[in-house]
Structure 1
Amino acid sequence: MRKICWISCLLCVFLTSGTIMCYAQDDLSNWQYSKEITGASLGEYKTCFLDADVYKNAATELSDLRVVDEKGEFVPYYLQSSALGENNQTINYQASKINTFEKDHNTYIDYKIKPIKENADIVANLLLLKVEQKNFAKNIEVLGGYDADNWTSLTHCTIYQVAQDTNVQVILPQTEKYGFYRIVIPNNLEKIQINQMDARLDSSTVTRQSFQKEVALTYDIKQEDTVTSISIQNPNRLKISSIDLNAQGTFDRRYDVFTQEGEELVPVGLNGRIFNVKFKDLNIQNTVIPLDNKPITHTSIIIKLQNKDDRPLTIKSIKGRYTIDKIVFKTPSAKNLLYFGNLEAKKPQYDLEQYKTYIERENQQICTLENLKRYEKTPIPKANSMDFNKIFNIVIVVVSLMLMGLIGWKLSKKNQAT
């Protein structure tokens, strides 16, 4: 009797575990696309940036991404984007003015950067200026040096404070390690004085740049009374983080940003100003519409410009920057595939996600995505799937009834014997 009970339990466990194993793994026949992950050797951690093919065909939240190795097994991964910012840091440096002089109507101002501790490298990508004058606009040149005698030209830019618009920051083209900076104000008849300068390392800026790409955007323009409506197409559903309007002339316009869902325009809560003011020797402009805090993935983005009584702008072109994600995975396999294109797939949960802060500090082999492949799904008749489930359930019921009958027969036989 006890033996029969044990057999019944084991059989039920076997059938149940078989059911779990059938459904624990995703069926790759439900995925429509894959791309080869190329450039991988036998390193431990590998990474590659997602491309337009993935964003166009994957689920909006990228929940359907699957990495598969050469054995056909799923590989744990996590996604990293600039929005996470675990490793971002800001370091501020104080600077002291060590020299200033005039030459040929040009003003030269030299600064020495103080390291945060003795013998530590000075690493900066941003200079912060303080200017006493109001209502000014001036072109300047910035040079860097390892001493106060030899200088390397780094960038030219315009600093200004005009009405409600101010820009007294210098964004360096790249991260620099100079301990000295020189500011040159050409033809400084206005006697503009820079009273203070500080340096800063903003690693989030570097991170954003490495996780962004530029794209030429296609668009249509319609005039609606005093409003210019610009319809921007985003067929690949890229994560648009900024939009730059290349418009002619001098202008100052307010804007509002919408997404289009069918015939309905949905405001995204983004508005501001773009402007372009040209003088004889300099240009003050801000024609970039930032979307960094709310990247837009809709296929249609609408920008409405308020012209008031001015003529509509002549827009020559529109560029966009979009944020890209990188996928990081751990496998010894050198041949891997990235599957995507299953809108019903749920995001997998991997332990690797918990350790990404540490993994980001490890060496990661950079790979690329190539050779898009589309799979034609073979529809499986629903009836067949239903029949399989019915048959499976019938078998379990029959086996259970047989076991119950056997147990009952044994019990009745035992009662008769007693």
Structure 2
Amino acid sequence: MRLKTKTITRSCNIAVLILLFFASIKTASAQKTFKYGAALQQVDSTGFYRINLQPALVAKAKADLSDIRIADGKGNFVPYIQAGSLPQKDQKSFVVFNTIATRLPTDTGTTFIVENKTGLPLDRLWIKLQNTAVQRQINLIGSDDLQQWFAIQENIPLQEAVQNSEGTYMQSLSFPASSYRYLKLLVNDKRRTPIKFLQAGIYTDYAAILAYTQIIPVQFSRVDSNKTTFINLKLNDNYQVNKLHLNISGPKYFKRNITIYQLINGYKETVAETEISATQSTDVLISAKTNQLILQVNNGDNPPLTIKSIDVYQSDEYLISYLEGKQSYRLLTGDSSALAAEYDLKFFADSIKDNTPLITHDAVIKNNIQPPAVVKKGRDYTVFIWIAIVVSLGLLLFLTLKMTKEVGKKTGER
């Protein structure tokens, strides 16, 4: 009986080893699904660094940047946090937004609406919550009249509270720059216990200045027709666009309504409806990820605007990571199946100093995921993995049944 038990144990160990072997192959191949990469600027000393993500790399990433990874020279992923997640220590500069008690019939979860009376365009919002350790996602939408709402950022993960004795904690939500008067936080918690929002606001030193990087080149064309001007902007990649600057030379006095669309797979999607005038800046803040934009300017009975060109910008995006000096690192992106990484580093964000050194990355290149010589199905181990799983389970089942019968016989003989 002992011999049979040892045989079964040995067979089980072999089956587990087979599964682990093929699982390791699967994991190794999964690390090669990032289509694009860029070498990170090498640092001289070990410490925290702020990594500036250039538009060319953001263009290859998912809209929420969840598929970006930092890999060291051995291919291991290095923890990071987005710069917008850094806590602010100067509580005196915090401006609390007014809470609006409006809840629309179409809302399907916990809602929290605040009013931004500052008039400043925002790219992050700080929320204060009662301590919680649940997994929820937040959708952020904006409005200027509490009637029409427009998407800003979707599926923002709610962070768990860091252990503390205060009973509350703060989280920063980072999103494409927006100038809506009202901001609504909609939590996907239908039929579940709601979370408790306490307040929301901004730190004035963060809201005062927003940095942008210009996207070039831009192909510009226009058509004036039936009291309307249509402007077509074409980009050479699927860029994240957060600001447009219209270079208008005339007439001297104008005030026009403008609608901006992004083209996705041939379909127009409205991303902004706003107004431009001679007395204000001709900057238009939007949130789009596309390679083509269409601007529709309603001229009414007025002559068309003389628009010489339009400058396109992306709001600056940063990652913060602890890097070793004299080591090689790469940024990876372009995996549509990747989920947002959850690193312990988020619990130590208060250890990061304000004067973190800034570094950038080299040109974005396409990763050689599958060399031409091995593109054939011979390197696809999916079938072999399933065969190994089935064989292993069958072997375990057979040995278990055999052992059960032997035990039954021994019991009957007694």
Q: TM-score, normalised by structure 1?
A: 0.60
Corresponding position: 1:70 with 2:64: no
Q: Distance in 2 between matches of 1:75 and 1:289?
A: 37
Match of 1:80 in 2: 83
What percentage of residue pairs aligned between the two structures are identical? 18
Secondary structure of the corresponding residue to residue 404 of structure 1: helix
SS in 2 for 1:234: strand
Match of 1:372 among 361, 364, 373: 364
Where in structure 2 are the equivalents of 1:93-112 lying within 5 Å? none
CA distance in 2: counterparts of 1:345 and 1:91, whole angstroms: 37
Aligned 8 A contact 2:276 2:282 in 1? no
2:314 partner amino acid: Y
Q: Which residue is equivalent to 1:117?
A: none
Alignment of 1:302 with 2:298, yes or no, is: no
Deviation at 1:221, TM superposition (A): 0.5
Shift of 1:68: 0.8
CA contact (8 A) 2:35 2:367 kept: yes
**Letter matched to residue 79 of structure 2:** P
CA distance in 1, matches of 2:351, 2:267: 44
Gapped regions of structure 2 (runs ≥ 5): 95-202
Which of 310, 316, 324 is equivalent to 2:316?
Answer: 324
2:329 corresponds, among 314, 336, 352, to: 336
Summarize the Cα distance change of 1:259–1:72 in structure 2 as closer, same or farther, 3 Å threshold: closer
CA distance in 1, matches of 2:338, 2:29: 8
Residue 246 in 1 paired to residue 240 in 2? no
Equivalent position SS for 1:298: strand
Unaligned runs of 5+ in 1: 93-200, 276-284
In structure 2, distance between residues paired with 1:44 and 1:386: 41
Question: What does residue 403 of structure 2 align with?
Answer: 407
Residue 233 of structure 1 aligns with which residue? 234
Letter in 2 for 1:387: V
Equivalent in the alignment of 1:272? 275
Measure the CA separation in 1 of the matches of 2:78 and 2:28: 12
Distance in 2 (alpha carbons) for counterparts of 1:402 and 1:320: 66
Which residue number corresponds to residue 155 of structure 2? none
Q: Which amino acid aligns with 2:337?
A: E
Counterpart for residue 97 of structure 1: none
Counterpart of 1:214 in structure 2 is 214
1:381 aligns with 2:371: no
How many residues were matched structurally?
Answer: 295
Distance 2:369 2:244 in 1: 37
Matched letter for residue 374 of structure 1: K
Quick check: 1:36–1:337 contact (8 Å CA) kept in 2? yes
The one-character-per-residue Cα deviations of 1:105-138 (angstroms, maximum 9, x if unpaired) are: xxxxxxxxxxxxxxxxxxxxxxxxxxxxxxxxxx
Q: Secondary structure at the match of 2:388?
A: helix
Contact 2:50 2:321 (C-alpha < 8 Å) held by counterparts: yes
Q: Equivalent residue for 1:204?
A: 206
Letter of the 1:213 counterpart: T
Match of 1:46 in 2: 49
Distance 1:382-1:229 versus aligned 2 partners, 3 A rule = farther
In 1, the alpha carbon distance for the partners of 2:284 and 2:43 equals 36
Q: Distance in 2 between matches of 1:90 and 1:255?
A: 38
Q: Following the alignment from structure 1 to structure 2, what is the Cα–Cα distance between the partners of residues 23 and 231?
A: 44
Distance 1:364-1:15 versus aligned 2 partners, 3 A rule: farther
* Residues 56 and 239, structure 2, Cα contact 8 Å, conserved in 1: no
Do the aligned partners of 2:12 and 2:396 also contact (CA within 8 Å) in 1? no
Change (3 A) 1:221 1:89: farther
1:313 aligns with 2:314: no
Tell me by how many angstroms 1:237 deviates. Answer: 3.5
Amino acid at match of 2:303: R
Q: Provide the rounded CA distance (Å) in 2 between the counterparts of 1:78 and 1:85.
A: 8
Distance 1:89 1:258 in 2: 39
Question: Could you say which residue in structure 2 is the equivalent of 1:34?
Answer: 37
Give secondary structure in 2 for the equivalent of 1:30.
coil
Rounded to whole Å, the distance in 2 between the matches of 1:202 and 1:72 is: 40
2:59 match: secondary structure? helix
- Classify 1:26/1:295 alpha carbon distance in 2 versus 1 (closer, same or farther; 3 Å): farther
Q: Secondary structure at the match of 2:381?
A: helix
Q: Is the 8 A contact 1:259 1:268 kept in 2?
A: yes
Match of 2:340 among 339, 343, 347: 347
> Which one-letter code corresponds to 1:286 in the other structure?
Q
Q: Deviation of residue 248 (structure 1)?
A: 1.7
Letter in 1 for 2:210: R
SS in 1 for 2:43: coil
Alpha-carbon distance, 1:396 to partner = 0.7
For 1:71 and 1:416, locate their aligned partners in 2 and report how far apart those are by CA, in whole Å.
Answer: 59
Deviation at 1:337, TM superposition (A): 0.8
Match runs of 1:175-194 below 5 Å: none
Code of the residue aligned with 2:64 in structure 1: it is E
> Aligned equivalents of 2:209 and 2:345: distance in 1?
22
Tell me how far apart the structure 2 counterparts of residues 264 and 412 of structure 1 sit (CA, whole Å). 69
Choose which of 279, 283, 288 in structure 1 pairs with 2:282: 288
Displacement, 1:49?
0.5
Counterpart code for 1:239: Q
> Which residue pairs with 2:353 in the alignment?
361
Partners of 1:394 and 1:80 lie apart in 2 by: 46
SS at match of 1:270: strand
Over 3 Å counting, the alpha-carbon distance change for 1:368 and 1:91 in structure 2 is closer
| Cα displacement (A) at 1:67 | 0.8
Task: Provide the residue aligned with 1:397 in structure 2.
Answer: 393
SS at match of 1:414: helix
Taking the aligned partners of 1:90 and 1:232, their CA distance within structure 2 comes to: 43
Between stretches 265-274 and 58-67, larger displacement belongs to 265-274
What is the CA–CA distance in structure 1 between the aligned matches of 2:52 and 2:343, rounded to whole Å? Answer: 19
CA distance in 2, matches of 1:202, 1:415: 80
Tell me how far 1:258 sits from its aligned partner.
2.1
Structure exhibiting the larger radius of gyration computed from Cα positions: 1
| Residues 399 and 27 (structure 1), Cα distance of their counterparts in 2 relative to 1, 3 Å cut | same
- Whole-Å Cα distance in 1 between the matches of residues 224 and 401 of structure 2? 82
